[in-house]
Amino acid sequence: MMATRAGANMIEVLLYALLAGLGVAAITGPLGAFIVWRRMAYFGDTLAHSSLLGVALALLLSISPTLSVIATCLVLALILVMLQQQKGLASDTLLGILSHTSLAVSLVAMALMPDIKVDLLSLLFGDLLTVTGKDVVIIYAISLFAILLLLKLWKPLLAITIHEELAKVEGIPVTAVRTAFMLIIALVIAIAMKVVGVLLITALLVIPAATARRFANTPEQMAIFASLIGCSAVIIGLSCSWYLDTPVGPSIVLSAGILFLLSLTKKYN
Amino acid sequence: MSEALIQLQGIGKYFNNNKVVSDIDLSIEDGQIITLIGPNGAGKTTLVKLVLGLLEPDEGRVIRHSNLRIGYMPQKLHIDPTLPITLGRFLALAEPNTKLCIDALKEVGIEKHIHSPLQSLSGGEMQRALLARAILRKPNFLVLDEPVQGVDVAGQEELYKLIGQLRTRLPCGVLMVSHDLHLVMSATDEVVCLNQHICCHGRPDQVSNNPAFIELFGTKTATYTHHHDHEHGLHGEVVHSNDGDSSGCQHD
């Protein structure tokens, strides 16, 4: 009886993990394609790191961590864009400062909250196996919203990616589109945190998209293939983790990395 | 005379309290080709951005015609190689109607590349692709930032010819940016020589003799320009001596 219940629980845990992983991979594919095209990998990485600040804030203020992470990422994204326009420091230097300072601030802040026990490892590398049914619902709601928003922004965002000033002259509201794009990144970071943790989110964005490039002839193909490759990585990684008892987040990223290596055997389209 | 497409009145722009351009008065009318020349750092790009509305002036004002439709051809595209996009798709971003896109490609002479990846185009083809996209907007004002950059000499001549044809077909006014005067001599109505302010302006042959222009561009270009003028002068002389000969013939 106990064994059966444990078995049923195990299947539930695995199913939730799988569903959550697939829900996140669906949006990290197309979003990752834009991150790659716009050369924003480091930008995404910085935001992902600073999302830990959102977690620390949520603990401090006892508010929803998902909401807090979205808000923190969005505010930091807008500050970053503003700072990048100042031209005082090179963009990657600025990102490097912000990325690691925010990571350090959140780690120190969490250490200073003695009443709260934080599982740092699961924050940094994800803990898909603790995902609940409620988490799955939140992940799908956010993922779906992000996908719809990205679909709506698709054409103007593509135009901006190719030439921002040309797009602006042609009447595209560049600032609004870019801000909405930042919102999508913030949303995706908030849900991807659970799957692969703050340190590995960029991997889930960049690796499937880079893998998909070799098979795609259009931007849309690349986005869809990236989603499918991300989903495959989730399935393979989760299976590995199940059979080999390896950490889930890193297993998923490793699977994506291996798929990328395999794709190198194919000629560029 | 028709209303100007765009008029700049006493325009000035500063970056971090450094003057980039100042006291710019410029007016462009329908069917007119104006070429902006000036050394690096003269503020050509800034002025183009002010005209395009990408920058707001700190001084003066820009008056745009109520029906102004700008077709902009940027200097260069930096497209990441990871973006899979064909020439046809690139044009579709400006005009969803495929037939119109093909027509524009035919006009600039690269319709055979419609399915080629954008990154595979040569320098000249890329400039034509950018021009095609500008045309698709059905503009009455074309702004071309270094339109012949990276194009070989024969291609440059063709591009200028094309721009000249577009001016009457669309019809439109044209503002071009160029590095050197001798390339655009025959292709432009008026030259505006910029070095943070407008040093001199006028017909190409007038400007090339202007001391301000010669000072700005140094002896090398000035010599070249002089050479060019000399050809014109020689041509005139030849015509003149022919006249003499023919009158001589008549006498005979």
**B93 in contact with A, Cβ within 8 Å:** yes
Describe the crossing of helices A219-244 and A201-213 by its angle, rounded to 10 degrees: 130
Q: Confirm whether B118 is domain-assigned.
A: no
Decide if A229 contacts A208 (C-beta within 8 A).
yes
Q: How far is A93 from chain B (nearest CA, A)?
A: 22
Pairing outcome for strands B190-195 and B173-178: unpaired
Decide if A165 contacts B52 (C-beta within 8 A).
yes
Interchain CB distance below 8 Å, B80 and A158: no
- Closest residue in chain B to residue A154, using alpha carbons only: B93
Could you tell me the pLDDT band of residue A1, with boundaries at 50, 70 and 90?
Answer: very low
Could you tell me the pLDDT band of residue B211, with boundaries at 50, 70 and 90?
Answer: confident
Q: What is the pLDDT of residues B73-129, one digit of tens each?
A: 998 888 899 999 999 999 999 999 999 999 999 999 999 999 999 999 988 899 999
Q: How far is A159 from chain B (nearest CA, A)?
A: 7
Structure tokens at B107: 């006009």
Spatial CA neighbour of A23 closest among A105, A181, A145: A145
Q: What angle do CA B106, B107, B110 make, to 5 degrees?
A: 45
**A221 in contact with B, Cβ within 8 Å:** yes
The overall average pLDDT reported for chain B is 81
Residues of A in Cβ contact (< 8 Å) with B53: 169
pLDDT greater than 60 at residue B238: no
Q: Confirm whether B85 is domain-assigned.
A: no
Contacts of B31 (CB under 8 A, 6+ apart): B167, B168, B171, B172, B173
pLDDT mean over A106-114:
88
Phi-psi label, residue A89: left if phi above 0, alpha if psi -120 to 50, beta otherwise: beta
Interchain CB distance below 8 Å, B85 and A162: yes
CATH number at residue B63: 3.40.50.300
pLDDT greater than 70 at residue A4: no
Structure tokens at A225: 């293939």
Residues of B in Cβ contact (< 8 Å) with A269: 84
Q: Confirm whether B152 is domain-assigned.
A: yes
3-state class (DSSP) for residue A263? helix
What span, in angstroms and rounded, lies between the C-alpha atoms of A136 and A21? 9
Predicted pLDDT of residue B156? 84
Q: Say how many domains are in chain B.
A: 1
What span, in angstroms and rounded, lies between the C-alpha atoms of A173 and A81? 16
Q: How far is B225 from chain A (nearest CA, A)?
A: 34
Q: Confirm whether B168 is domain-assigned.
A: yes
Predicted pLDDT of residue A17? 94
Written as one string, the DSSP assignment of B153-209 is HHHHHHHHHHHHHHHHHTT-EEEEEES-HHHHGGG-SEEEEEESEEEEEESHHHHHH
Q: Confirm whether B217 is domain-assigned.
A: yes
Of the candidates A162, A213, A222, the beta carbon closest to that of B79 is on A162
pLDDT mean over A143-163:
96
Task: Identify the residue whose tokens are 């490892």.
Answer: A121
**A220 in contact with B, Cβ within 8 Å:** no
Domain boundaries, chain A: 13-263
Q: Confirm whether B133 is domain-assigned.
A: no
3-state class (DSSP) for residue B18? strand
Residues of B in Cβ contact (< 8 Å) with A209: 82
Structural domain including B53 reads: 6-69+139-251
Residues of A in Cβ contact (< 8 Å) with B68: none
**B74 in contact with A, Cβ within 8 Å:** yes
Q: Confirm whether B108 is domain-assigned.
A: no
What span, in angstroms and rounded, lies between the C-alpha atoms of A229 and A260? 9
Structure tokens at B76: 């260069």
Q: How far is B151 from chain A (nearest CA, A)?
A: 20
The domain made up of A13-263 has a fold known as: ABC transporter involved in vitamin B12 uptake, BtuC (1.10.3470)
What single-letter DSSP state applies at residue A129? G
Predicted pLDDT of residue A268? 65
pLDDT mean over A184-194:
91
Q: Confirm whether B167 is domain-assigned.
A: yes
The overall average pLDDT reported for chain A is 90
Q: What angle do CA A21, A216, A199 make, to 5 degrees?
A: 35
